[in-house]
Every structure is written in C-alpha cells, then in structure tokens.
Copies of this chain bind each other. A is one copy, B any other.
C-alpha cells in the first residue's frame, strides 16, 4: 500500500510529498511534534495533544494553522488514508521555509505534516541503562514541550545499544531520574507508583497525565539510586506501557502499573 502523508492541507503519496530545503524545522530544529495513538481508526486524546502543541507553539511563538476540530479531522483522515485501525500518527509542526537568520521574519507559513504508522506486536519487558553521556536539562523551558531536538535522546539510545540494553533513562542536572528516551518513567517505591514532576525534566507526557489523573501514580522527584531499589519500573507513552526487567544489568521486580495503555 502507498503511504499517504497529510502535508499542509493535502493528502498525497509519501513519495510525492516535498519538504522545502529552507524549512526551519530541518535547518534549525525549529518546531514541535506529537505522537498520537490510533484506536479503532480514530486518533486518541486529540484534545490533550492539541493543548500540549499549543503550549509548545506559545513558547516558540509559532502559530498552529489548524484549530482543534480541523486537526482531529486531519488526523483521522490520515489514519483512514493509511487504513490504520490500530497504530499511531506523528504530527510535525515547523516554522516552515524562511530566509536565512535565527530570528524568524513575520509572515512565514508553518509546515504541518501528519504521517501514520503501524505498531509492532507488544513486546516483553525491556532492559535499560542510566545514560552517562547526556543529561536532561530540567532548567530549560524546552524540556517542558515536545520540540524536534532529539539528539540527546539518540545519543542515550546509542549508549544503551552499546551495552546491549533496549533503552536509557536520562538523569537531570541534579542527578535525579527525568525520563526515558521516548517515554516517561514510573517507579514503584514503598508500595506506590511515582513519576518525576515536569520541573525535574520529565516531558509532560499524555500517558503520564492520564495515569496521574486516574490516581494510579503520584509525582515525586526520583533519586537515581531508587531505580536500583525499585519494587517495579515501567516506561510509558501513548503507544505502550512497558515493564522494565533490568536497570544497568540489575534485575527489577516485575510489578504491573496498568495492564494496558488502552484501558486508561
């Protein structure tokens, strides 16, 4: 099947979709994204994703070219065009093509792109390391939004792969646990599930927000040593909640935070 991409209002075959070489998303990482779950052919939690995108766009002084309802339609159209019943969508918003210069000139046209993807079958528990090379900068306002710059996380993932692990947990500058490379972390301690506050460098994840709202998880700063002492450890995003079986080679007791992200 031909992959279909929604790009600036038009659905077209991926091979025919063109990003301008002057796009600031490419040249300066000047943009944001959202990863959205598709369930029963419908984009999930669109209001929450839209709100987070708005917060990011406000920080970046970017305008979102679609309102909530139009964005939901575009997401669902992209899912349908790719015959996605269960899977995911990625929405990318950049400041668009622009003349040279760091300070954007007014009147630019943002780039808004939506792509779809299917999901691999649910995997078993994962092994993680604590990244030594990169830290999450909890002092940056950019840690609170879902910006395009994922190189620190890519470097952490290289480090994990080098040690034969599946993922890495990033510490913040205070030496406490902030998040995994593509998900929030949930640590069971003293019988309850904890997750780092956004002020600790945790991305305000949507799976995380739903777990907090459901009262299944409580916010607390997580000392790095707690990861080794955990009574259970999970990594979650809107696509899955996965149990961690090992941290830095050391076994973690298996404890269930939630049977499935779909039940949230």
Nearest-Cβ distance from residue A1 to partner chain B, whole angstroms: 15
Copies in the complex: 2
Tell me, yes or no, whether A249 is within 8 Å of chain B by CB.
no
Q: Contact at A140–B152, with CB atoms within 8 Å?
A: yes
Nearest-Cβ distance from residue A58 to partner chain B, whole angstroms: 12
Tell me, yes or no, whether A40 is within 8 Å of chain B by CB.
no
Residue numbers in B under 8 Å from A134 (CB-CB): 140-142
Q: Contact at A150–B28, with CB atoms within 8 Å?
A: yes
Residue numbers in B under 8 Å from A137 (CB-CB): 135, 137, 140
Nearest-Cβ distance from residue A151 to partner chain B, whole angstroms: 6
Q: Please, what's the 1-or-0 string for A153-173, where 1 marks a CB less than 8 Å from any CB in chain B?
A: 111011001000000000001
Given A117-B100, A137-B137, A173-B173: A149 touches B19 (CB 8 Å cut-off)? no
Which of B17, B19, B154 contacts A28, CB < 8 Å? B154
A: which residues have CB within 8 A of B? 5, 7, 14, 17-23, 25-30, 33, 59-61, 90, 92, 94, 100, 102-104, 113, 115, 117, 133-135, 137, 139-142, 147-155, 157-158, 161, 173, 181-182
Residue numbers in B under 8 Å from A139 (CB-CB): 135, 173
Which of B26, B90, B147 contacts A151, CB < 8 Å? B147
Complex Cα–Cα for A103 and B161 (A): 8
Q: Contact at B151–A60, with CB atoms within 8 Å?
A: yes
Most buried by B among A27, A94, A153: A27
Nearest-Cβ distance from residue A63 to partner chain B, whole angstroms: 15
Residue numbers in B under 8 Å from A26 (CB-CB): 19, 23, 25-26, 92, 94, 148
